[in-house]
Amino acid sequence: MEIPNYLRRGYITPDELFSIIPRPSEERLRKRPVAIPECPQQIPCTPCKEICPVNAVMMDHPNDIPKVDYEKCIGCSLCVQVCPGLAFFMIHYVGDKARITMPYELLPLPEKGEEVILLNRVGEEVGKGKVLAIVPREKSKGDTPIITVEVPIELAWEVRAIKVVRK
Ligand code: SF4
Ligand code: SF4
């Protein structure tokens, strides 16, 4: 079996991601936060499916690539909190911004309202954003703190990490 390019190089582009899972509509992205699984490896792993309170994460077999029923998803963020692969995100379009909820395991944890540097999937700086919300480790249902960052809407599918800069 041929190994896909995104597994060889270690990150997946938005076009590659949406060739293996459905892309949520703009209407859905504006309604409320929606969970996006960026987990293209067929590994035996199911915490995201087990924690989902509305059975929105679809996997017939533990080795399947997780997909989300975007209409069922209530945007609770539990899948982001428990995913050991740091592979779940949530996106919400609000006006000309996007709110991205992502795992963040580094220290220091940013503070609410703090301006942070936005990084793409390769770790390159692509702009600045503002931290809107934090779920620290002690409140996370998994071992992973999560943060929600407001970014320019055109970066919604590029930004997947942040850098905290303290003077
Ligand atoms: S955000 Fe909540 S409702 Fe949506 S897929 Fe994740 S666990 Fe399920
Ligand atoms: S919990 Fe994370 S790593 Fe495991 S299957 Fe779900 S998305 Fe993939």
pLDDT in tens, 39-74: 999 899 999 999 999 999 999 999 999 999 999 999
For ligand 1, residues with CB inside 6 Å are 35, 51-52, 54, 56-57, 68, 73-79, 90
Number of domains in the chain: 1
Q: How far is the CA of 95 from the centre of ligand 1 (A)?
A: 23
Question: Residue 93: pLDDT above 80?
Answer: yes
- At residue 15, what are phi and psi to the nearest 5 degrees? -60, -40
Whether 120 contacts 158, CB under 8 Å: yes
Determine the Cα–Cα distance for residues 62 and 25; give it in Å rounded to an integer. 27
- Among 55, 74, 88, 141, say which to mutate for ligand 1: greatest number of ligand atoms within 8 Å of CB: 74
Give the pLDDT confidence of 111-138 residue by residue, as tens digits: 999 999 999 999 999 999 999 999 999 9
First to last CA, the chain: 50
Residue 1 pLDDT greater than 80, yes or no: no
Distant-in-sequence, close-in-space partners of 159: CB < 8 Å, separation ≥ 6? 100, 118, 119, 120, 126, 127, 129, 149, 151
- Where residue 2 falls among pLDDT bands split at 50, 70, 90? confident
CB 48 within 8 A of CB 66: yes
pLDDT band at 141 (very low <50, low <70, confident <90, very high): very high
Domain limits for position 149: 5-163
Q: Which ligand is nearest to the CA of 79?
A: 1
Mean pLDDT of the chain: 96
Report the SS3 class of residue 132.
strand
Q: Is the pLDDT of residue 167 over 80?
A: no
Q: Which ligand is nearest to the CA of 69?
A: 1
Quickly state the pLDDT bin for 143 (edges 50, 70, 90).
confident
What atom of ligand 1 comes closest to residue 88's alpha carbon? 6
